[in-house]
Structure 1
Amino acid sequence: MQKIKMFVKVSYFLAVILLLCFPMFSLVPASPTINPKEVGNLEEPIDSFSATTTSRKNTMDNNQEVSDKYYFISPTEKHQESIKEENSKAIMSESLLSLLSTTPKDQWEEKTVRLIVVYDKKVSPTLRFSSNSMYGVKMLKSLPIVYIKATLNEAQRLMTLRGIKGVYLDRYIQFIDPSWKNTESMTETYPSEAYIGARYLQKLGINGSGIKIAIIDTGIDKTHPDLDDMDNDPSTNDPKIIAEQSFVDFDFDGTNDTDDSDQVGHGTHCAGIAAANGLLKGVAPGAYLMNARALDARGWAYVSWVVNAIDWAVNNGADIISMSIGWAPSDVIALLNEASNNAWERGTMVVVAAGNSGPSLTTISSPGMASRALTVGASNILNLTTNWSSRGPSTNNVIDPDVLAPGEDIFSTVPQNGYKAYSGTSM
């Protein structure tokens, strides 16, 4: 309730105008075509808007060793019938079903996959997970979700265990190509706060002071002079980024990528739009930032990385979550919608972009389709919807986007003390 009251006090500027300016656009790495074998033992990386779940080709690394550091407890004979009834509505993702159907059964014990397992928090599942990450299991604090590495045989057996609601193949998905203008000058570009008249509110003292904004993206360059502190005074010790965590390579082998810096530039750009306080002023220069790096250096992410980042942001007191992500709807992508709605229910505003797949209708991406997320499309200098901004309604028949915000040639911060103009619904 305290967070809800806070949003009311922050006024129209923070509840709407501030929130408009830092959702998403999806992002493709500047590097050339990626060899799927370089990114792990799962499916071939897929373009999020170019294929359906059932048509995507699944490939596996036959040389992947099976971890023996987790275990399953099979249901007792006494509970077989009740488990069968309970699990009659359990879901196995289409992508996992496809992988099982296309892989010879004699290879099921050799192939390992990353799984997202959803369990009924009201029923103690027969599956016993270790809370120690060394045992190949990751558990979320606030959602009944577990990440696990398992063989295909074990994936199949999961569906027979008490309390299991769904088993999904963790997807490694490519983001949408951004549009950017290679310029370091504000000429013919537009800082977002000037675009919407936020300077006038800032002069009245409405500048986002005390608000915590979690940027779930490619990371933030915390050394940028416009993002390194609260008062733009290098002699003071008042960092703007008050929490940071990398979820990239958040896996099971103890080699997690702990680098939370921005290797792409998009996260730093979004952070500057939201809260820069230096040469460039963001919409809310008085706000704090939380850096949740969930995209790797190629601009790709596993679904589990993003869901984990949402959970982390909520548990660490974020008032607002800004996510520069968007994928075509599918069974596992729906977990992003669920995580976003859960964050809202716990008092955190979730802001995501509509996507850059316009002008066709029904092109809203997920988690922009989440019923309780604030979904933002892009407008141009004439206050008209840009041609490329995604349109609704969502495939779940919800009217989206909720609002439009400036998204064309928006000037903001990039790594190495630089500035550039980007266009996209994240701007």
Structure 2
Amino acid sequence: MIDTGRRTFLKGAGAAGAVALGAGSATATESLPLDDELDLTDGIEEGLAVVDPDASVSGLADRIAGLDTDAATRAFEVLPLIYLRAPGPVLREVARLDGVRYVAANRDLEYFNEDIAAETGVNSARAEQGVDGSGVHVAVIDSGVAATHPDLVVENNYQWSGNPLGSPTLWVPAHDLDTDELGHGTHCSGTVAGQGDVDGGMAPGAALTGYSTGAAVSVLKSAAAFDHLLANHSDVVDVVSNSYGAASGEDFDPSIPLNVATKTAFDRGLLSVFAAGNDGPSANTLNDYAKAPWVLGVAATDDDRNVTDFSSRGRPGGAHDRSTALANGTGIYRPGVAAPGNLVNSTMSPGDALQATAPDADPFYAAISGTSMACPAVSGIAALMLDAAGDDAAPLDVIRTIEATADDAGHEPYQTGAGFVDADAAVARAADSDWA
């Protein structure tokens, strides 16, 4: 998530490239497990059905498609999810089917380096431990990535095809093309693994896979990216960086599609890192997907470690203990850690929309702000830790160690979680297999 104030892109730079917002509750409607954003009248609605893990996803997809001549479905490959389009009244029938746990609306979401490597201790960690992220693979789900950028090496580059009920498939290989008209995803990818001499990424040796959702991200696109990733690259990808979401004061709901996706990824050994959101400074504004206890949420500070006004906050006095939340399947209402997110300089193509909001002497770089910029910094630090550990660690090992080594910057846990990330200390513990 990047910020101009709270809900647009670059602090103080106007609203160029703004995308639709996606807040709102996910409570049951009419005692049925239906998202209250769904219109249950005669119009055609677009949503995702979450099904029981032991149910037949394809079988349920066929049953839903058979409920009405205007109903159409697509079963996900790995995740227990079904994309559907159907008349509003039919959704009540879908919610009553055995094996259907929840029917969610396809909400629109929001895209939420001063030298970030020096500020976070990355330079020291790389020098002392001799790591650069080699052997580690990071996936970035975002607006796209410029595989043509001189300081980026992209191993896999996928672009959304825009037709979930037909062909071609949901994700089309884009190879060495520039799939990013906005610049947001290219900027985040550069913070993870950019190879520039001056404003390089945290882990320049890490491999990159990009999923281009385009200028507007939605629940469908991001969940489908996780599904494709788990079906095709779960054996090589270690970290998934997500600088988007929907900030709200709602309670954590493990049954909504993206929380199901990140839990499935977690169970398969993939660490998901999420931006905390750009709805601060008010409390109880955390990204809904950063509340999952198996996810590492990242707040934003300036270079002096002051939490930024735009960085979303959790709940003061709320549930902040990760172990308890994991044991009970409940939410954690604080970020994991904080990292710099104010005027971060990273990769961007000359023609990208966000380039116009941040003019720079170097047309292949731009400085923009947001928790979107803090998130990939921590994703890159996680890659350094896995490199130091020989890629032998569970996601929870990395999360707990990043939190345990964070510096107390004088903020409350609901603001910045465990504190300001300390890459030097975290990578040193990973190198010794001294996991928290």
Same fold by TM (over 0.5)?
yes
Amino acid at match of 2:132: N
Q: CA separation in 2, counterparts of 1:33 and 1:347?
A: 34
Q: CA separation in 2, counterparts of 1:25 and 1:415?
A: 17
Deviation at residue 93 of structure 1 after TM alignment: 1.5
Corresponding residue for 1:426? Answer: 372
Task: Give the counterpart of 2:134 among 209, 213, 219.
Answer: 209
Task: Give the counterpart of 1:93 among 32, 35, 47.
Answer: 35
Please state if 1:144 is matched with 2:144: no
SS at 2:282 equivalent? coil
Deviation at residue 274 of structure 1 after TM alignment: 0.7
Corresponding residue for 2:122? Answer: 198
Amino acid at match of 1:168: A
Q: CA separation in 2, counterparts of 1:405 and 1:32?
A: 25
Q: CA separation in 1, counterparts of 2:25 and 2:77?
A: 31
Corresponding residue for 2:47? Answer: 115
Q: Is the 8 Å Cα contact of residues 50 and 255 (structure 2) preserved in structure 1? A: no
Q: CA separation in 1, counterparts of 2:296 and 2:46?
A: 30
Q: Is the 8 Å Cα contact of residues 141 and 311 (structure 1) preserved in structure 2? A: yes
Deviation at residue 269 of structure 1 after TM alignment: 0.5
Q: CA separation in 2, counterparts of 1:363 and 1:353?
A: 12
Q: CA separation in 2, counterparts of 1:399 and 1:165?
A: 24
Please state if 1:264 is matched with 2:182: yes
Structure with bigger gyration radius: 1
Q: Is the 8 Å Cα contact of residues 81 and 257 (structure 2) preserved in structure 1? A: no
Corresponding residue for 2:164? Answer: 251
Write the mapping of 1:332-371 to structure 2, written as runs, cut at 5 A.
334-371=256-293
Corresponding residue for 1:222? Answer: 147
TM-score (norm 2): 0.65
Provide, for residues 171-201 of structure 1, a one-character-per-residue CA deviation record: whole Å limited to 9, x for no partner: 234545xxxxxxxxxxxx7232133232233
Corresponding residue for 1:323? Answer: 242
Corresponding residue for 2:93? Answer: 157
Please state if 1:405 is matched with 2:339: yes
Amino acid at match of 1:206: V
Amino acid at match of 2:95: M
Q: CA separation in 2, counterparts of 1:257 and 1:286?
A: 26
C-alpha change, 1:46 and 1:402, in structure 2 (3 Å) is same
C-alpha change, 1:345 and 1:161, in structure 2 (3 Å) is same
C-alpha change, 1:145 and 1:404, in structure 2 (3 Å) is same
Deviation at residue 386 of structure 1 after TM alignment: 1.6
Corresponding residue for 1:76? Answer: none
Gapped runs of 5+ residues in structure 2? 66-70, 320-329, 351-362, 374-436
Q: CA separation in 1, counterparts of 2:281 and 2:339?
A: 16
Q: CA RMSD in A?
A: 3.3
Corresponding residue for 2:155? Answer: 242
Q: CA separation in 1, counterparts of 2:254 and 2:21?
A: 15
Corresponding residue for 1:61? Answer: none
Deviation at residue 124 of structure 1 after TM alignment: 4.5
Provide, for residues 202-225 of structure 1, a one-character-per-residue CA deviation record: whole Å limited to 9, x for no partner: 234211111100001001101111
Q: Is the 8 Å Cα contact of residues 140 and 311 (structure 1) preserved in structure 2? A: yes
Aligned length: 320
SS at 2:187 equivalent? helix
Amino acid at match of 1:372: W
Q: CA separation in 1, counterparts of 2:306 and 2:15?
A: 33
Provide, for residues 102-151 of structure 1, a one-character-per-residue CA deviation record: whole Å limited to 9, x for no partner: x3xxxx3xx32222112223244763539x9xx94322222211112222
Deviation at residue 391 of structure 1 after TM alignment: 1.3
Q: Is the 8 Å Cα contact of residues 160 and 221 (structure 2) preserved in structure 1? A: yes
Provide, for residues 218-255 of structure 1, a one-character-per-residue CA deviation record: whole Å limited to 9, x for no partner: 0110111100xxxxxxxxxxxx3112222362422447
TM-score (norm 1): 0.66
Q: Percent identity?
A: 30
Q: CA separation in 2, counterparts of 1:33 and 1:386?
A: 22
